[in-house]
């Protein structure tokens, strides 16, 4: 524990030394840029940098940093002035009173942050403290300069200049802190948006799994019922007791599988975020989320393909998760079709969405997904929406990929959203799906605009 404390202290001292070095650099840079021409009194941005660091690093030792800065920064400035050709006494007269400024400024800041305001030391208190510390430091510095030159360094011009310098540096420090806070908040919002979209996509996948497991549990229930009916029939028909017993055992095992399914579904439902489900996302946001996920899949699998989106007319869909699942399934199908085509042609997947209006005045959303892959043979178009049918068959392994599947996609579109999905004839080749869903009065239409990516 003692070693850990020593390590932390060493790290803090190293940080403070680097801060002092940075302050020295700022002081050197401003010597040539800002000079009042009055007894070496200058406006330097090292004070701005110093005050910002005091406010930003809440755990910093104000007293130690003040002593370090008051000792090192004026000596460094004096050395630079002396090396530029100024006599050493004159260089010392110009630079060393800066130590009084930093000591005074640090004392005012320490008293305000530790005793006067304490935990309530916010940005407003910082502004008042920075101005008061800067003005007090300038005043103390002028008193020292007056003593060194044996005449008063005070005048209306100098006092006015000191007030102006304190106000200017305080405004600059506040502006930089506000800009840093804004940038931090912006970066935080970007991270939160990325996390939100990731959670949204995962929730949609979770809903798909719950849907499929409920469907499978219904199938297991049907198998169990038929198994028990067969058991009773075999028992009545006088089948050997051993055979009848095995049939009953199969029925019991099927019942246990159903129970396991139910437990898993309950766990998945517990993972499902109801608060997230109550949030409402626009159609464009849904498409951008699935577009980003699809592009990540393309990149991860090193597939030579691009996705082009064309969106027009935004709205708030009711079946957000199901729409995400539908778009994800169609994009994935296109990506895999292009990857499996062994074609030298660069893959292009087009994803479009627009608002339309029927002859009866009803608003609809039309979503199109097309690609330049091998396409869907006419003889298979009627089969791909059939339950259990899959075109994703591996001749090497005999494995059939069964994801969400086009039958479920059609069920989502036609049964849950009261829309339609069709495969238009496309002379350009490739696969083309067109989805049309109604947009009712609860969908909060937004001003129409076009965005392309």
pLDDT tier, 387 (very low <50, low <70, confident <90, very high otherwise): low
β-pairing, 347-357 vs 363-371, is: antiparallel
**pLDDT given at position 449:** 43
State yes or no: pLDDT of 328 exceeds 80: yes
**pLDDT given at position 443:** 58
Q: Where are the beta strands (DSSP E) in 17-123?
A: none
Q: Which residues of 82-94 are buried (b: 16+ CB within 10 A; e: fewer)?
A: beeebeeeebbbb
Q: Are 75 and 28 in contact, with CB atoms under 8 Å apart?
A: no
Q: Are 238 and 218 in contact, with CB atoms under 8 Å apart?
A: no
364 forms bridges with which residues in the sheet?
Answer: 356, 438
In the three-class reduction of DSSP (H, G, I as helix; E, B as strand; rest coil), residue 234 is classed as helix
Those residues whose C-beta lies under 8 Å from the C-beta of residue 418, and which sit 6 or more positions away, are 437, 438
pLDDT tier, 403 (very low <50, low <70, confident <90, very high otherwise): very low
Helix intervals (H) in 237-319: 241-271, 274-278, 283-300
β-pairing, 363-371 vs 450-452, is: unpaired
pLDDT (tens digit per residue) in 276-306: 555 677 888 888 888 888 898 898 888 889 9
Q: What is the mean pLDDT of residues 182-194?
A: 74
State yes or no: pLDDT of 380 exceeds 70: yes
pLDDT (tens digit per residue) in 224-259: 888 888 888 888 888 888 887 888 888 888 777 777
- The pTM score is 0.52
Who wins on pLDDT, 72 or 450?
Answer: 72
Residue with tokens 């510095």: 141
Distance from C-alpha of 99 to C-alpha of 73, rounded to nearest angstrom: 8
Lowest-confidence region among 31-35, 249-253, 306-310, 424-428: 31-35
Distance from C-alpha of 164 to C-alpha of 141, rounded to nearest angstrom: 15
State yes or no: pLDDT of 275 exceeds 60: no
pLDDT tier, 80 (very low <50, low <70, confident <90, very high otherwise): confident
Q: What is the CATH number of domain 282-452?
A: 3.30.565.10
In the three-class reduction of DSSP (H, G, I as helix; E, B as strand; rest coil), residue 59 is classed as coil
φ/ψ (deg, to 5) at 352: -125, 155
State yes or no: pLDDT of 41 exceeds 70: no
**pLDDT given at position 351:** 93
326 burial level (CB within 10 Å; 0-12, 13-18, 19+): buried
Token output for 199: 């959670």
Distance from C-alpha of 213 to C-alpha of 262, rounded to nearest angstrom: 9
pLDDT tier, 349 (very low <50, low <70, confident <90, very high otherwise): very high
Distance from C-alpha of 345 to C-alpha of 304, rounded to nearest angstrom: 9
Q: What is the mean pLDDT of residues 263-286?
A: 68
38 forms bridges with which residues in the sheet?
Answer: 41
Instruction: Residue 230: name the closest of 256, 254, 249, 248 by CA.
Output: 248
Who wins on pLDDT, 311 or 37?
Answer: 311
Q: Are 109 and 62 in contact, with CB atoms under 8 Å apart?
A: yes
In the three-class reduction of DSSP (H, G, I as helix; E, B as strand; rest coil), residue 434 is classed as strand
Instruction: Residue 105: name the closest of 74, 142, 131, 127 by CA.
Output: 131
Distance from C-alpha of 76 to C-alpha of 74, rounded to nearest angstrom: 5
- Residues recorded for the chain: 453
Number of H helices, E strands in the chain: 12, 6
**pLDDT given at position 4:** 47
Distance from C-alpha of 138 to C-alpha of 70, rounded to nearest angstrom: 14
**pLDDT given at position 144:** 83
**pLDDT given at position 32:** 40
Distance from C-alpha of 446 to C-alpha of 198, rounded to nearest angstrom: 24
**pLDDT given at position 452:** 45
State yes or no: pLDDT of 118 exceeds 50: yes
Q: What is the mean pLDDT of residues 262-268?
A: 70
Token output for 340: 């499996």
Percentage above 90 pLDDT, the chain: 9
**pLDDT given at position 29:** 53
Q: Where are the domains of the chain?
A: 15-154, 201-277, 282-452
**pLDDT given at position 239:** 85
Lowest-confidence region among 141-155, 283-297, 320-334, 405-419: 141-155
pLDDT tier, 373 (very low <50, low <70, confident <90, very high otherwise): confident
Q: What is the mean pLDDT of residues 354-358?
A: 86
State yes or no: pLDDT of 445 exceeds 70: no
Mean pLDDT across the chain? 77
Distance from C-alpha of 176 to C-alpha of 181, rounded to nearest angstrom: 9
**pLDDT given at position 107:** 92
Distance from C-alpha of 123 to C-alpha of 171, rounded to nearest angstrom: 12
pLDDT (tens digit per residue) in 196-220: 667 677 777 777 777 777 777 777 7
**pLDDT given at position 38:** 45
State yes or no: pLDDT of 404 exceeds 60: no
DSSP code, position 164: H
Lowest-confidence region among 20-34, 43-57, 97-111, 124-138: 20-34
**pLDDT given at position 433:** 92
349's enclosing H/E stretch is strand 347-357
**pLDDT given at position 367:** 94
């Amino acid at each position: 524990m003692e070693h850990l404390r020593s390590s932390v202290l060493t790290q803090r001292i190293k940080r403070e030394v680097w801060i002092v070095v940075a302050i020295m650099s700022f002081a050197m840079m401003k010597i040539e840029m800002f000079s009042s021409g009055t007894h070496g009194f200058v406006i330097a941005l090292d004070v701005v940098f110093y005050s910002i660091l005091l406010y930003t690093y809440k755990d910093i030792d104000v007293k130690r940093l003040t002593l370090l800065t008051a000792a090192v920064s004026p000596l460094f400035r004096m050395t630079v002035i002396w090396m530029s050709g100024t006599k050493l006494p004159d260089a010392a007269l110009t630079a060393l009173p800066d130590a009084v400024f930093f000591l005074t400024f640090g004392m005012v800041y320490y008293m305000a942050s530790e005793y006067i305001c304490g935990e309530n030391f916010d940005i407003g208190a910082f502004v008042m403290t920075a101005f008061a510390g800067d003005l007090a430091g300038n005043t103390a510095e002028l008193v020292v300069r007056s003593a060194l030159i044996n005449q008063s360094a005070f005048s209306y011009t100098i006092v006015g200049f000191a007030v102006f310098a304190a106000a200017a540096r305080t405004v600059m420090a506040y502006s930089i802190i506000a800009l840093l806070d804004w940038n931090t908040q912006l970066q935080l919002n970007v991270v939160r948006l990325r996390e939100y979209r990731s959670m949204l996509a995962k929730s949609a996948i979770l809903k798909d799994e719950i849907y499929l497991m409920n469907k499978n549990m219904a199938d297991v229930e049907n198998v169990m019922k038929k198994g028990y009916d067969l058991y009773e029939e075999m028992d009545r028909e006088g089948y050997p007791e051993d055979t009848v017993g095995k049939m009953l055992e199969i029925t019991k095992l099927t019942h246990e599988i159903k129970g396991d399914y139910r437990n898993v579904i309950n766990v998945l439902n517990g993972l499902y975020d109801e608060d997230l489900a109550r949030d409402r996302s626009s159609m464009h946001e849904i498409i951008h989320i699935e577009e980003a996920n699809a592009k990540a899949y393309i990149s991860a699998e090193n597939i030579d393909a691009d996705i082009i989106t064309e969106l027009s007319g935004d709205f708030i869909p009711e079946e957000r998760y199901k729409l995400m699942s539908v778009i994800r399934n169609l994009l994935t199908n296109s990506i895999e079709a292009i990857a499996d085509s062994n074609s030298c042609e660069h893959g292009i997947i087009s994803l479009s969405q627009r608002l339309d209006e029927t002859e009866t005045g009803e608003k609809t959303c039309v979503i199109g997904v097309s690609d330049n892959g091998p396409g869907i043979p006419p003889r298979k178009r009627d089969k791909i929406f059939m339950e259990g049918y899959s075109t994703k068959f591996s001749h090497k392994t005999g494995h059939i990929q069964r994801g969400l599947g086009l039958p479920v996609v059609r069920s989502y579109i036609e049964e849950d959203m009261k829309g339609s999905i069709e495969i238009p004839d496309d002379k350009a080749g490739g696969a083309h799906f067109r989805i049309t869903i109604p947009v009712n009065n609860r969908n909060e239409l937004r001003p129409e605009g076009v965005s392309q990516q």
